[in-house]
Structure 1
Amino acid sequence: MRIKGLEVQFQPEHTRAPGQLSSADDVDSFIDALLNGRHDRNCAVVYSLDRPTLPSGYRDHELAVGVDRIARTGALTLADDENLVSKGTVDRGIGEYMLLGHVREFMPGSEIPIENVRQAVKEFLENGGRLPTCIEWQEEEF
């Protein structure tokens, strides 16, 4: 099976033309861009091109990825048939990340080491947009 890849949105130009990820190296570059970019762009939405769209043309899912360059942690949510969030080992309270200048909150207890974020996004790419199993997940409360 040939993987079509991922679409990402975290830069203003992505609202017109989303970024594309098609390899593990692309995922690393994407996470590095979030870590090293502007503080108001440390969160992204990711869509698998391998999953079908709804009859409306919208995607049937959304993976949100937030990273904290100082703590070297991040958090993930996957919204599809259910809303799941990464299950972290550290609880620093509500994780606030910025998606194109807008606050995106992740529930307490959802932050994981940055390397686990990388691994989960790579798995999301490689498995065609299915839930990554390399990390633990929990139901999102909000």
Structure 2
Amino acid sequence: MLDHPHHELRQGHPQPASGPLGLRMKNAHGQFNEHVSPRLRQISNAVSVSWGDRTTPEDGWKVTHYSIQAYYREEHSCEPSVVRTSEDVDALIDDLATGPEFENLAVLHSSEREALPSGFPDHEFMVGADGRRQVGVLSFVAEKNFVSLGSSVSEGGTVTYFVSENPTEFPATAEIPLAVVRQAAQEFLSSGGQRPTCVQWQEPEVW
């Protein structure tokens, strides 16, 4: 199935969110911020190791076959999950939607994009799924921060999703139908890690 979590981005660019609204994993000097739990620190360090050790697959997969690393459970800090097929994407979304309440948000990275000099990926795609309400959230971080834009007219307010029990808050307006979340995750895989075009996006003022 899948593989991967948080990291630092190019110096001077926004850092991925991993805690309450507006908080980031690392500061501009690559040091962990105080709010980051030991578990997330372990996951983040695992990213740079696994990303730097990428090799050309020799198990029959073509070099052009895209894959994704995903992290959303505690064990993924040691051995991330790998998504290679459309079926894998569906299994990931189903797992988030029907699994434990505090493991309903995954951090994804595409193996097709280049790593930064630090060894970390140059992007981060977060996918959240709430199976009970049949909604979810998306975020995409590269040169800028984007979160999905739903049809909610709610003014203010946040919703919380969890990566391995660690909360991440999103604007309430970021929630979109679960079917669209699934479609966006499929597009992220098939496009080699590009920001999905099947979703409307917003640049939140604080996130």
Residue 105 of structure 1 pairs with residue 160 of structure 2? no
Instruction: Please give the alpha-carbon distance, in whole angstroms, between the structure 2 residues aligned to 1:57 and 1:40.
Output: 29
| Contact in 2 for aligned 1:91/1:108 (Cα 8 Å) | no
Out of 48, 59, 63, the residue aligned to residue 110 of structure 2 is: 48
Matched AA of 1:46: L
| Contact in 2 for aligned 1:46/1:64 (Cα 8 Å) | yes
What is the total number of aligned residue pairs between the two structures? 142
Q: CA deviation at 1:86?
A: 0.5
Partner of 1:116: 180
Partner of 1:89: 151
Computed over aligned residues only, the root mean square deviation of the Cα atoms, in angstroms, reads 1.3
Measured against aligned partners, the alpha-carbon deviations of 1:23-75 in whole angstroms (never above 9, x if no partner) come to: 11100000000111111101110001100100110011111111112210000
Partner of 1:20: 82
* TM-score scaled by length of structure 2: 0.66
Instruction: Please give the alpha-carbon distance, in whole angstroms, between the structure 2 residues aligned to 1:126 and 1:45.
Output: 17
Instruction: Please give the alpha-carbon distance, in whole angstroms, between the structure 2 residues aligned to 1:121 and 1:140.
Output: 21
| Contact in 2 for aligned 1:3/1:50 (Cα 8 Å) | no
Instruction: Please give the alpha-carbon distance, in whole angstroms, between the structure 2 residues aligned to 1:19 and 1:91.
Output: 36
Q: For structure 2, which runs of at least 5 residues remain unmatched after alignment?
A: 1-62
Residue 131 of structure 1 pairs with residue 188 of structure 2? no
| Contact in 1 for aligned 2:69/2:111 (Cα 8 Å) | yes
Moved more, 124-133 or 3-12: 3-12
| Contact in 2 for aligned 1:91/1:111 (Cα 8 Å) | no
Would the alpha carbon gap of residues 91 and 105 (structure 1) be closer, same or farther in structure 2, given more than 3 Å must change? farther
Q: For structure 1, which runs of at least 5 residues remain unmatched after alignment?
A: none
Matched AA of 2:140: L
* TM-score scaled by length of structure 1: 0.95
Instruction: Please give the alpha-carbon distance, in whole angstroms, between the structure 2 residues aligned to 1:112 and 1:56.
Output: 34
Would the alpha carbon gap of residues 91 and 47 (structure 1) be closer, same or farther in structure 2, given more than 3 Å must change? farther
Q: How does 1:28-43 map to 2 (within 5 A)?
A: 28-43=90-105
Out of 123, 145, 161, the residue aligned to residue 61 of structure 1 is: 123
Runs of 4+ in 1 over 4 A off after TM superposition: none
